[in-house]
Amino acid sequence: MDYSTKLLTEAVVVGSALLPVYALTKNFITIIFPRMNGTTQEYTSVVISGGLFHLICEGSGLNDWYLDNGVAVLKRMEKEQVDWTITLNDPDLCDGNCGWTDGGLCSHYSFHAN
């Protein structure tokens, strides 16, 4: 699959997964703040649902999966044509105290084996 198709697929999946979070948040905001005007309810719902969606992705491990499989990482690996298993083990990138236990890329862009 080419990058454009994979990126479009990622966008559709993320947008589809965000939609129910937004719908629930919008309903909740409407109930909790009934006198808030419609535009403010919309903006508040977007901000809160985006934050909640991010926390859900982080808590569920989806962000970890994306670090290993996302289009951005694959494009970077191809563009730089680097042996990432060597480069990402560079001790200057991560001190090893990041708490990463799942293997793959940690938040310091270091590769950790399982």
Please tell me which residue, 70 or 1, carries the higher pLDDT value. Answer: 70
pLDDT tens for each residue of 41-50 = 999 999 999 9
Does residue 86 share a domain with residue 71? no
Greater confidence (2 vs 21) lies with 21
Looking at the structure of the chain, the number of domains it has is: 2
The token pair at 80 is: 């730089």
**Residues 109 and 58 placed together within one structural domain of the fold:** no
Based on the domain organization, do 43 and 95 belong to the same domain?
A: no
Same domain (yes/no): 49, 96 = no
Structure confidence at residue 81 (pLDDT): 61
Domain of residue 69, residue span: 3-80
Instruction: Give the model's pLDDT for residue 6.
Output: 84
Return the top range by mean pLDDT from 11-15, 17-21, 97-101: 17-21
**Average confidence (pLDDT) over 76-99:** 59
Rounded mean pLDDT of 54-73? Answer: 85
For the chain, the helix, strand and coil percentages under 3-state DSSP, each to the nearest 5: 65, 5, 30
Q: Are residues 76 and 98 in the same domain?
A: no
- The answer on 90 and 39 residing in a single domain is no
**Which whole number is the average pLDDT over 74-103?**
60
Q: What is the mean pLDDT of the chain?
A: 80
How many Å apart are CA 95 and CA 89, to the nearest integer? 10
Both 66 and 91 in a single domain?
no
Q: Identify whether residues 46 and 86 lie together within a single domain.
A: no
Q: Quick one: 13 and 68 in the same domain?
A: yes
* Whether residue 91 sits in one domain with residue 74: no
Residues 17 and 62 in one domain: yes
Residues 88 and 48 in one domain: no
Answer yes or no: is pLDDT of 67 > 60: yes
